[in-house]
């Protein structure tokens, strides 16, 4: 975040806080440092990478870096022989929101790989990884082949 955007954000938040404080007459002792604490929390939140909001099976919301979620999924996909992960999108879903996740991913596939069985293997491994790492089930996992490659090691056999 640039200094200019921090200053603009601080000014905007100060205005919101001042408006709130004008409508609410708190005890002056209770407000010491309140504004700075709120700004600190917002700055810390803004400094975090984009996050995916999920919900545990007990209904407790939590946030995890979107890059971490994508990494878990990519790692699971890359364990399937002849398949390599490309793009990954994880969308929180379920009731309550975030108690499950919809996955859209693109992959590259080795020439000669049977797509239908490989896609089912991808779905099983991704679903297992999401449950094992996040405790969140996959609601839907869509797999699209974006490209086909020649596996040099398989071609040499």
The tens digit of pLDDT for each residue in 45-103 reads 655 668 888 888 888 888 888 889 999 999 999 999 999 999 999 999 998 889 999 99
Q: Which two tokens stand for residue 71?
A: 């990494």
CA distance 58 to 118: 33
Lowest-pLDDT range of 17-31, 39-53, 135-149:
17-31
Rounded to the nearest angstrom, the gap between the alpha carbon of residue 92 and the centroid of all alpha carbons in its chain is 9
- pLDDT winner (highest mean) among 9-18, 58-67, 72-81, 148-157: 72-81
Rounded to two decimals, what is the model's pTM? 0.67
**pLDDT on residue 119:** 96
Q: 85 vs 48, 67, 128, 148, CA distance in Å?
A: 25, 14, 16, 12
Cis peptide before 116 (omega within 30 of 0): no
């Amino acid at each position: 975040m640039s200094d200019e955007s921090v200053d603009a954000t601080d000014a905007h938040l100060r205005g919101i806080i001042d408006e709130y404080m004008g409508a609410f007459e708190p005890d002056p002792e209770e407000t010491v440092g309140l504004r700075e604490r709120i700004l600190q929390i917002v700055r810390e939140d803004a400094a975090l990478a984009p996050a995916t909001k999920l919900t545990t099976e007990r209904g407790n919301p939590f946030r995890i870096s979107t890059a971490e979620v994508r990494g878990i999924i990519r790692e699971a996909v890359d364990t399937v022989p002849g398949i390599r992960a490309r793009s990954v999108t994880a969308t929180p879903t379920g009731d309550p929101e975030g108690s499950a996740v919809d996955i859209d991913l693109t992959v590259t596939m080795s020439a000669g790989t049977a797509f239908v069985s490989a896609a089912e293997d991808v779905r099983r491994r991704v679903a297992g990884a999401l449950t094992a790492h996040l405790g969140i089930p996959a609601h839907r996992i869509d797999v699209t082949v974006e490209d086909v490659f020649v596996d040099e090691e398989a071609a040499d056999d």
